[in-house]
Structure formats: C-alpha cells, structure tokens
Amino acid sequence: MPKKIQDQLMKFDPQTGEEKPYPSHAQQYREYHGLTAWIFNPWTGNPRDPRDIGSDVQFVGTKK
C-alpha cells in the first residue's frame, strides 16, 4: 500500500517555499512551528490557492 503524502518527508518549507524544511515530517513540523499558514505545498514547492489555505483543518475553529 503506498504511503499517504502526509507521511512522506516534505521537500519545501510550507511557510517560505525554501528547500529542506526543519523538521521535514509534516506532523513534527506542525508540533515545532505551531499554528502557521502553509503558503506553499511542502511536497511540490508550488504556492497554494488562498482559498485552500483559509480552509485548512488546523485553522477551523481558531478564527475570531
């Protein structure tokens, strides 16, 4: 069974788009950096659509 993309090591920092993010596993990155918007796709490096960023599960219920 193939790995889910979330289980693969990220290649790009989701905040800056720079290569070699720290930490490079998505769950560890979230724990280390806290609630931050992921502006870039961490596996492709491409900018994300603002509508997708605003609807990220991690931000549901955190808006005031």
Rama region for 12: left / alpha / beta (φ>0; ψ in -120 to 50; rest): beta
Q: Answer with the residue of higher pLDDT: 3 or 17.
A: 17
* For the chain, the helix, strand and coil percentages under 3-state DSSP, each to the nearest 5: 30, 5, 65
Q: Does 60 have pLDDT greater than 60?
A: no
pLDDT beyond 50 at 46 = yes
Model pTM score: 0.79
Distance CA 23, CA 45 (A): 16
Locate the domains of the chain by residue range: 9-64
Q: What is the mean pLDDT of the chain?
A: 86
Predicted pLDDT at 35:
85
